[in-house]
Chains A and B, each alone.
Chain A
Amino acid sequence: MNRANKGQIRIVEAFLAVLIVFSSFTLSANLTVSQNKPQREDLAIDGLNTLTKLDADGSLSNYITNRNWTSLQEAVNLALPTGASFNLTVFDEEMRQVNTAVISNGGFSNQRIYSVEYVCASRDMMFHSYIIHLDLAVAS
């Protein structure tokens, strides 16, 4: 290696060193960003919280017992975090579908869908229990 090329090699080496350090920063930044993406558990907890909140005063079972699907849809829509898409299905003890109308705030596109199930017990004197299947997705 002659003396004339030596300077150029130094520049290439320094460039490689900077590239290596910079790539490690890029890798670390991506790792942190991926951690902030919505987790399955976050949506599941939001869904469960919503149904638990609505069931706290017995209104969830009241909507179902009275077959008031519009009010149920509105209540779930209000209680869920903004930007969450949902589709809710109600089953009876024998897993027969109870709701006769679609309970949803819009169709899912190609988002990833997460599901939670909630057992709702009515407070009426005539006891009924229902399984609520809630599909959730974060609107893109």
Chain B
Amino acid sequence: MKKLKETFKHNNSGQLLIVAALAIAVLISSTTTYVYELSKETSGTNDSTINESILAIRQSTKNVMISSLANVSNGGTRTLLTENLNTFLHTLRNTHQLGICNLEFTTFNDSGYDEGTRLSWDTTSPATSSAYANFTLQAYGENSRIITKFAINVTTAVAVSGFYITLAGGEKNVSLTCNLKNEGEPALVKNLTVFYNDAGNWTQAGTANGLSVADYGNGTYTVSFRVVVADPVQVSVQILDLRNIFVRANMTCYAG
């Protein structure tokens, strides 16, 4: 009986080897496939495309806000922001980047905002030109559905401080410091103009007044000029930033 068992064992050892090899092969293949599928799931490449597209749309909506605020602050109508956003939505509907994409917006109409824009120039410090709108973006991709809400606020603000020193002959040397910011970050000026009140007439300060402007490259500008006007000196600083957004700050300078 023992001999028969041994004979059987000897005759089948080759088949057992193949079966064992087959089992090892299946084990290796299934482990590799499992790891591959797992890495494919966790990489989330499809979601990355949608996320990048959402970032791109956010950036474009900010550009719409900048364009609209530049126009409104330079004398355009307040309804322009809504009109431009509607034009943008019309264009967005012609793309098929995200499958089905729906963007809705609401312009802010509170805290001094009218149709999503606010121009606080003469009475507040810092003087600001601002646009504000809330957005809801719904994106339906092949495998995912994303709803995201975001707000875009575009603000150009300038803070002006200054004083004057009376020179010999009654002439006054006015010194101003202007700090320009875009969304709270230091920004550069494209054009800076200074006016002073001369007996009720606003007159532009120029070379005749010895006007000099120093740019510190960090949003800070110092301005000095000489005038012969009654005390105190009223000045108006008008700035166009690099985005063509206009802002105006009025202030009264006293003897320093």
Task: List A residues at the B interface (Cβ < 8 Å).
Answer: 9-10, 13-14, 16-18, 20-21, 23-25, 27-28, 31-32, 35, 39, 41-42, 44-45, 48-49, 51-52, 55-56, 58, 61, 91, 93, 95, 116-127, 129-131
Contacts and interface: CB of A to CB of B under 8 A. Distances in A.
Given A13-B15, A125-B244, A52 B94 contact: no
Contact of B48 (A20, A45, A52, A58): A45
A20 B80 CA distance: 72
Interface string B28-62: 11001100100110000110110011011101110
Given A41-B48, A121-B63, A13 B56 contact: no
A13 B17 contact: yes
Contacts of B91: 93, 119, 129-131
B64 interface: yes
A123 B56 contact: no
Contacts of B21: 16-18, 20-21
A7 to B, nearest CB: 11
Given A44-B49, A131-B94, A55 B14 contact: no
14 contacts: A13-B15, A13-B18, A14-B14, A23-B25, A24-B28, A25-B28, A28-B32, A52-B56, A93-B90, A95-B94, A119-B91, A122-B63, A127-B68, A131-B91
A61 to B, nearest CB: 7
Nearest to A55: B59
A29 B84 CA distance: 54
B88 to A, nearest CB: 5
A126 B74 CA distance: 12
Given A14-B17, A25-B28, A61 B48 contact: no
Contacts of B213: none
A24 B26 contact: yes
A108 B67 CA distance: 36
B243 interface: yes
Of the four ranges (under 10, 10 to 19, 20 to 34, 35 or more), the interface on chain B belongs to 35 or more
Contacts of A17: 17-18, 20-21
Contacts of B136: none
Interface in B68-101: 68, 70-71, 74, 76, 80, 84, 87-88, 90-92, 94-97
Contact of A58 (B29, B57, B63, B94): B63
B146 interface: no
Contacts of A129: 60, 64, 87-88, 91
Contacts of B84: 127
Given A24-B28, A61-B63, 18 more contacts: A18-B21, A20-B18, A20-B22, A20-B25, A21-B28, A24-B24, A31-B32, A48-B49, A91-B94, A93-B87, A119-B95, A120-B63, A121-B64, A123-B63, A123-B243, A123-B244, A127-B80, A127-B84
Contact of B60 (A21, A95, A121): A121
B29 A35 contact: no
B156 to A, nearest CB: 13
Nearest to B19: A17
Interface in B199-234: none
A21 B95 contact: no
B28 A121 contact: no
B39 A35 contact: yes
Contacts of B36: 31-32, 35
A48 B76 contact: no
Nearest to A122: B67
A127 B17 contact: no
Nearest to A93: B91
Contacts of B29: 24, 27-28
